[in-house]
Structure 1
């Protein structure tokens, strides 16, 4: 199924939903000591090591799923700006309303759960749950609300810090994508390598913002990327699963292991391309379950982790498997209501603000001038 030039690529919503589900499974399993130990590279029982140190890890590769989010955000925010005139004056307030209103609501939900279910470091808890046993402070609470210094009260908020940074810098990313449109693949490769360089240099901004740039580069070359034929698509899909989990099954002392981050970023980018250019992937991702998950993916991402930690505090440590069994359906239900009563109204408000800001002739002229400078 080919996307229309100015249309929304629905299968990418499905990919976002699958990625959100992977993050949910990831944090749910981290409440189990053996999985938490594996995630922290501590000893794991032989009976479960294959779930950690093999490509099967793809089913709960939460960190890698976040990287897919980063590439996706780079793509979906850059593509419209390249295809039509962008009113940047209207974009900024609209974007921050869409991000911050749900974030603020999720922080207050996390606070309620924090107060209702004290986080204690009880014996027998997983190392991941024990790390959440920290005291509440005004500075930490404000750090969560502003995304300037997120705490473990709702730890997935760390990625929203970089979403906000990318949103602020979007005009720059669009400019880079527009200027390098003919050689978009070079931009993508350079961005992936820069992301890898960020680790040894201890520059998180370089590591994560470069992933967004990979998505922006793909957006610049989207019309030039041909539909992926079925046999090649299966090869690329399997290679992506192997690549996105390579940090878990390739020995760290193996030659070339230093480029694991590059491989992971490339795998995330390939999954995005396959989602929009490979018919079997499009059909699956346009299905009812992926699309439903996609519509509430942001809400699910924001609310699930405090729920997982709270359930882990209530479940007897002798039966840790009960935590994911309870957490997953509860998080999905809460996400449905959160999306309905928080995220959707935030989107509507953002659209209203955008229309009002861009509704004047002056706003339209400013948008055209900025767009002309970008292109």
Structure 2
């Protein structure tokens, strides 16, 4: 079985790190308006490098949107797990702790993004409607900072990845509902997963954001409730001779399902109903990767390797800071071949993420624990230890891992 590090499943930290790196490559490729899938409709001649990157299994290395679904499933698992594992979960401490844990890095990342946006005038030479043009801010003002801080109803123009943090925050606030729902379908988990697929399909089909993304968190919550069963399944399978064949089939099948719309080629754009069905299955594909990362020894050894473990450590910070840096680099090296800014921007984003992790994210952990403990103590002081114990439990038992570090 996969080992734990500090109460966390180490292989899942590595999976999160890999997903964060994929998101960076995804946005790096988006700076090229000819990259298939970019806003504005990039195209690639059959057999060209862009075609191979986009319409073959190589797409896994730039599958950014799909990696966000992996983030959401991981968040659902790691945030729900303490709720279903610990008696007396401290809800009084949880809400302020979770808010600080998410919002402190978000606030800091927006200020950092504002600095990069203001450093060079962002007047795009690409046609209107491309990702770079839509993500640039030619008329920057301080109001953009305030709007970016408003995750629930604001505008993340100066830091594009904040769109996903909106769903992280909504899930975090609605955690009691997700946990109760996951516990309710514990014995009928197949029906729960089927409902998640149906809702995701419905969300994609109607362009409803909540239905498109929140079911992925529920799938992660179901994994948290069924984690012991997942481990038993893995142990039994690992005792069989065909274990590697089955695990490889699960891993490759899940990976292929994640990028299935791309494997149909450019013509899949003419089949929106098929795309909606395939995207509806993506939370299950992400769950399959999570289960394989936990149970298949070669795979979790890969995710427990030092490079991916370190990527997992900085993954949330990297997710928050990389887009403003990539856009800044594009304008800094304006007039150069499209890949030249990436040779500067990607390493810079990693270096900034390392510093951001140390300066902001690690401190937010301590601040969130302190705020949670203070809230729990205040509640006990106001309502008495017996009532507070019934409503809250103990703060130490309720230590929640970072679901946003997926993204994080």
Q: What's the TM-score, normalizing by structure 2?
A: 0.85
Rounded to whole Å, the distance in 2 between the matches of 1:126 and 1:143 is 22
| Residue number in structure 2 paired with 1:224 | 229
1:43 equivalent in alignment to 2:57: no
| Residue number in structure 2 paired with 1:179 | 184
| Residue number in structure 2 paired with 1:241 | 255
Deviating runs (4+, > 6 A) in structure 1? none
Following superposition of structure 1 onto structure 2, how do residues 155-234 of structure 1 map, counting pairs within 5 Å?
Answer: 155-225=160-230, 226-227=233-234, 228=237, 229-234=243-248
Structure 2 segments unaligned to the other structure (5+ residues)? 238-242, 398-408
Following superposition of structure 1 onto structure 2, how do residues 282-321 of structure 1 map, counting pairs within 5 Å?
Answer: 282-321=300-339
| Residue number in structure 2 paired with 1:330 | 348
Rounded to whole Å, the distance in 2 between the matches of 1:294 and 1:125 is 35
Report the CA distance between 1:137 and its aligned residue: 4.6
Report the CA distance between 1:125 and its aligned residue: 10
Report the CA distance between 1:123 and its aligned residue: 5.0
Cα distance change on mapping 1:65 and 1:321 into 2, 3 Å:
same
* SS class of match (1:217): helix
Cα distance change on mapping 1:50 and 1:38 into 2, 3 Å:
farther
Bigger CA drift: 37-46 or 27-36?
37-46
Following superposition of structure 1 onto structure 2, how do residues 1-150 of structure 1 map, counting pairs within 5 Å?
Answer: 1-2=1-2, 7-35=7-35, 40-46=40-46, 47=48, 48-85=50-87, 86-123=89-126, 127-134=130-137, 135-147=139-151, 148-150=153-155
Cα distance change on mapping 1:167 and 1:35 into 2, 3 Å:
same
1:273 equivalent in alignment to 2:285: no
Provide the aligned length of Structure 1 versus Structure 2. Answer: 369
Cα distance change on mapping 1:143 and 1:124 into 2, 3 Å:
closer
Contact 1:36 1:128 in 2 (8 A): no
Contact 2:257 2:281 in 1 (8 A): yes
Report the CA distance between 1:305 and its aligned residue: 0.4
Bigger CA drift: 131-140 or 20-29?
131-140
Structure 1 segments unaligned to the other structure (5+ residues)? none
Q: What's the TM-score, normalizing by structure 1?
A: 0.92
Report the CA distance between 1:348 and its aligned residue: 0.6
Contact 1:198 1:205 in 2 (8 A): yes
| Residue number in structure 2 paired with 1:353 | 371
Rounded to whole Å, the distance in 1 between the matches of 2:19 and 2:37 is 22
Cα distance change on mapping 1:21 and 1:192 into 2, 3 Å:
same
Cα distance change on mapping 1:327 and 1:363 into 2, 3 Å:
farther
Cα distance change on mapping 1:126 and 1:59 into 2, 3 Å:
farther
Contact 2:109 2:321 in 1 (8 A): yes
* SS class of match (2:155): coil
Cα distance change on mapping 1:133 and 1:257 into 2, 3 Å:
closer
Cα distance change on mapping 1:290 and 1:34 into 2, 3 Å:
same
Rounded to whole Å, the distance in 1 between the matches of 2:146 and 2:133 is 23
Contact 2:2 2:300 in 1 (8 A): no
Rounded to whole Å, the distance in 2 between the matches of 1:37 and 1:185 is 32
Rounded to whole Å, the distance in 2 between the matches of 1:317 and 1:364 is 63
Contact 2:80 2:175 in 1 (8 A): yes
Contact 1:38 1:52 in 2 (8 A): no
- Once superposed, what is the RMSD of the aligned Cα atoms? 2.3
